[in-house]
Chain A
Amino acid sequence: MVELTRVSANSGASRSRVRSAVPTTAGVVGTAARSLLSRFGAILIRINPFTLFWLLIVAILILPIVLFLAVAFSPRLLDQGTEWFTLSAFAQAVNGQLLLGLLHSLVIGVTTAVASAAVGFLLSWVVLRTNAPGRRIWTGVVFALLLTPSYLIALGWERLVEPNGVLQVLGWDPIWLRDVIYGPVGIVIVLTVKGIPFAFLAISNAMRGLGHEFEDAARVHGGGRIASLRIVLSLLAPAVWSALAIVFAESVSDFGVASTLANDAHFPVATYSLYNAVQAFPVNFPVASAVSWVLLILVVLALLAQSRALRGRSFRVLGGRSRPVLRVQLSRGAKVLCTLALFILLVISLGVPTFGAISASLIDGLGSLAGTHQWTLDNYQRVIVSPDLSQPLLFSAELAAITATVTLVLAVVCARLLANKGGSFGGRILDLVLLAAVALPGIVFAAGYIFAYNLPLTNTLGIHLYGTTALLVLAYLATALPSTSRVLVGTMSQIQESMSHAARVHGNGAIRSWLSIVLPVTARPMLSAWLLTYTATLLELPVSQLLAPPGSLPISVGITSTLAKYDFGGGTAMEVLAILSALAVVGVAYLLFKLIAPAGWRRIGRSA
């Protein structure tokens, strides 16, 4: 540490020497002007990339969101009403039901966020820091969960506990469980299961970067297990808060789970009024926009909590000398307990939706009076040869791969900005925009895209972006960026700048020092971020629905319309095959990383 500081101090000195040498040669005015010009040019080059970055953020995130939000005040602006300025949309939207829904959403959001972060933290610890049996399967399980649509989780629970459902047919009528699942608790369970992958990826990425030296220090100074756990927890705070924020925002924007599982539980959530406004006719965008403003209040609350918690602390622990961690050797009793807990988690998280998929696509009429109740592969045989599956799947896979690659690059920049200590103004704005993009339901976000990129003005200028694959990719990018950035925040806030400075002083260029210093320590988190984006984009629905170019069908839209035509078996079989294809991509990616990546890249997070 001391060495590195000295080196960077030297580097500062050498730079100032170079600078002071320049003016002495400038005797003539013209030369001075030239030098000024070249300096300006240099500044421009230095600023430009960030200006470009912000322009892009404005184009893909801020503009669509702002335009959508503007409709609440000015319907006339986008031809959604007659008035240029009015507050009537708020008067229509804000009523007792919305306020009750808001309260429900807040409770659901907080509970889900805390539950997902807790499970994600414990899971990361067990997988990375103990020798619990079966820990290796969890990276795969997490990606499977990420891919599992919430409708399959909800369907699984319904088929199990519904009246005359599978459990009752098997001889146990789960009356109390049914009441619990068909209501707020069921919503929280499903959304928590959907939140666990985000929490696990965010926290485990950061935990990998946390060497064992801090726990050692705590133990050396007489701290017990609890004390060292406290240290780990507080050093991982940026990642934990990232997980909390993203799961909170995702849960707040949910509509599907609440509307299917708690359909008749009289438990309105805030998004209910919003969907009612945009899916009925005449579509009322001003009211939807007013509800979005209210959702934004929740996001601001979440960000305030986050910035209070992280204020004024440093989390830079990822250096070249992070020490390999020691895995806790669990006693036999602890192993049994741990295995049992993991097994229960596996059953609840992945077992239930798998059961949902089986009941819908593999067993004819399972649990019902109709059908043969026989195992059958009919649905799979039918869809696997169908062009309705292969063409959309290839189309979506291609777009998901492009999106993942571009998102990764942008997310690295975003994560650096978000991780800046103290938080610059730009960083805070970015934080707000990224989280707002998640908290607003996808359909709203996509409608904002249509507002922004289907203006008659842009068409007159010859820009025809709406209805192109390019705009769909940009919207995917905007949809993926918030989660992907947040998954990387934990890692990025750990990187010690001094290492890169040292490399620069030793003569490496900016790119080379980034490749040789930052890339090796962040390679694995970046791989997981790429896979996260790929898998999340492959089955993304609302943006695909509104922005896919006419004539090309993303797989998620194909599946949804198959399901909507009562072909539950075929739709679910398509879904399962799409998930398996993505899991294959995840498997191959990790395998390649293991085989090809230099040993140094794989060192971070290794256990001794």
Chain B
Amino acid sequence: MIHKSRVAAGAAALTAMVLLAGCTSTQATSLTGSTSTAKVEPLVLYAAEAYDANMGKAFTAKTGIPVKVVDDSTGPLLTKIAAEKNNPQWSLFWADGDTAFSSLDQQGELLSYKPNAPWNAVGKAIVPSDNSYIPTGTTVMAALIYNSAKTTSVPTTYDDLATSAYTGKVGMNDPSQSGPTYPFIAGVMNQLGGQSAGVSDGEAYFTKLKSNGLKVYPTNGDTLHALETGQINYGLIQSSAATGEVVKVKPTSGYAPKIVYLPKSTLLPSVIGIDKAIDKTQQTEAKQFVDYALSPEGQKVMQGADLAGDSLFWPIVDNSTALTQLPAFPADYQRIDPTFWGPLQAQVVTWFDSNIK
């Protein structure tokens, strides 16, 4: 019995040491934070963009403001932000899709900021009226990527995909696992039924696709793999992933991916939100960061980080041009209202899971 308690004491002591070491290191950080040049505080950037780390470094190099990046997928970051709700630890959150930001705004978590940016037409369509979050570029959902070596039929509308020429040959992502896929489904619902008719027309459409042999894969990567192996000839995925595939692949006689955009393309902007709870110093710094992301210099950094993925966005400010690998921006596009479609996400995803998948 006695030796057990000694072991327990040892265990407790060891853990206490770990704890102490941790606390000491925290203290050290906060000390350096407060003693170094009076008004600089590190920004904490939660981000799910391939260019986030590069942007953090470039911003620090330019302004001297340190940026601590927490880079992860959107899902875990949202979980983290929600769990921190009563004591937020992030200064900025940067991810694709504005529905989550609209919801954060409704919960009063975002600081409004109106940057002095030369928005182009698409940019103007995306910027929210209350300036609660700031778009920095956009992709669209969905790009239809198809294997031109295996098929000559190219659809021109979403309805075409439900016809016999496409039976068993179309694939898309699972909205419960792929972040950009709910905006796509919501976009189709918005286009077919609109906000007045709600989800029913869209549900009927996906049910038709399903009876025409629609296949559902977990994420962009899996849908692309199905295309590469010939399990499908058409995949509905995010525009940056589709363009990245076309850039990477050397066309052969068996596989030559090409992209079309069916009307309408739903905008899927990359968006920054500023945490309302941060102090004045950080607020000023966070706004500087946003300005930097919208500046020609910042846009260049974003475009240079991931040439086969996230860097393939269309700029929404006039002082930046799209990478040459990207085609012209799809002419027929729509923005879906995140305050309407955001709250429907859980319902629609559950419906999709039990009826389409």
**Which residues of A does B touch, CB under 8 Å?**
46-50, 52-53, 55-56, 60, 78-80, 97, 162-165, 259-260, 263-264, 266, 268, 272, 275-285, 365, 367-371, 402, 405-406, 409-410, 412-413, 416, 443, 447, 450-451, 454-456, 459, 463-471, 473-474, 477, 500, 510-511, 513-514, 518, 542, 545-546, 548, 550-551, 553, 557, 560-561, 563-566, 568
Contact = CB atoms under 8 A, between A and B. Distances in A.
B12 A56 contact: yes
Interface in B303-351: 306, 308-310, 342-343, 345-346, 349-350
10 contacts: A49-B9, A52-B8, A163-B231, A278-B82, A280-B182, A281-B342, A285-B83, A464-B26, A467-B89, A468-B26
B357 interface: yes
A553 B70 CA distance: 8
Contact of B19 (A97, A264, A474, A561): A474
Of A276, A281, A410, chain B has the most CB atoms within 10 Å of the CB of A281
B2 interface: yes
A548 B70 contact: yes
Given A370-B255, A568-B221, A456 B308 contact: no
B241 A566 contact: yes
B218 A471 contact: no
A367 B80 CA distance: 38
A55 B254 CA distance: 64
B116 interface: no
Contact of B79 (A53, A283, A469): A283
A409 B3 contact: no
Nearest to B306: A565
B3 A283 contact: no
Contacts of A47: 5
A376 to B, nearest CB: 14
Nearest to A68: B83
A163 B215 CA distance: 12
A370 B78 contact: no
Contact of A409 (B14, B76, B176, B228): B14
Interface of B: 2-12, 14-15, 18-19, 21-23, 25-26, 30, 44, 50, 68-73, 75-76, 78-87, 89, 99-100, 103-104, 107, 147, 149-150, 174, 176-177, 182, 215-221, 224-225, 228-231, 241, 244, 249, 252, 254-255, 306, 308-310, 342-343, 345-346, 349-350, 353-354, 357
B306 to A, nearest CB: 6
Contacts of A56: 11-12, 15
A548 B80 CA distance: 11
Nearest to B354: A97
A550 B5 contact: no
A412 B7 contact: yes
A419 to B, nearest CB: 11
Contact of B25 (A163, A277, A455, A468): A468
Contact of B86 (A412, A456, A553): A456
Contact of A545 (B72, B177, B228): B72
A454 to B, nearest CB: 5
**By DSSP majority rule, is chain B's interface helix, strand, loop, or mixed?**
helix
B80 A450 contact: yes
Given A546-B83, A565-B50, 19 more contacts: A49-B8, A50-B5, A60-B15, A259-B218, A278-B79, A280-B345, A281-B99, A281-B104, A281-B345, A413-B7, A451-B83, A464-B30, A500-B3, A511-B6, A546-B79, A548-B70, A550-B68, A550-B70, A566-B224
A514 B6 contact: yes
B12 A276 contact: no
B103 A281 contact: yes
B231 A164 contact: yes
Contact of A49 (B6, B50, B68): B6
Contacts of A402: 18
Secondary structure dominating the interface of A: helix
A272 B177 CA distance: 11
Q: Which of B8, B50, B86, B249 has the most CB of A within 10 A?
A: B8
Contacts of A369: 147, 149-150, 228-230, 252, 254-255
Contacts of B215: 264
Contacts of B71: 553, 557, 561
B229 A283 contact: no
Contacts of B231: 162-164
Contact of B22 (A405, A443, A465): A465
A451 B23 CA distance: 18
A510 B104 CA distance: 58
A474 B16 CA distance: 10
A263 B357 contact: yes
B22 A468 contact: yes
Interface centre among B225, B230, B350 (most CB of A within 10 A): B225
A165 B230 CA distance: 9
B32 to A, nearest CB: 13
B169 to A, nearest CB: 12
B241 A367 contact: no
B217 A280 contact: no
A361 B250 CA distance: 18
A259 B357 CA distance: 11
Given A369-B252, A474-B18, A447 B23 contact: no
A473 B353 CA distance: 37
A162 B7 contact: no
A459 B87 contact: yes
A352 to B, nearest CB: 17
A323 B283 CA distance: 71
A78 B86 CA distance: 7
Nearest to A547: B80
B344 to A, nearest CB: 11
A443 B229 contact: no
A175 to B, nearest CB: 14
A406 B332 CA distance: 60
Contacts of B5: 46-50
Nearest to B12: A52
Nearest to A471: B22
Contacts of B7: 49, 409, 412-413, 514
A281 B228 contact: no
A264 B12 contact: no
Contacts of A471: 22
A465 B87 CA distance: 13
A79 B82 CA distance: 9
A478 to B, nearest CB: 11
A162 B225 CA distance: 11
Determine which residue in B9, B81, B244 has the highest number of CB atoms from chain A within 10 A of its CB, and name it: B9
Contacts of A560: 72-73
Contact of B89 (A365, A466, A511): A466
A550 B354 contact: no
Contacts of A264: 215-216, 357
Contacts of A281: 78, 82, 99-100, 103-104, 342, 345
A282 B346 CA distance: 9
B89 A284 contact: no
A56 B107 CA distance: 35
A463 B20 CA distance: 11
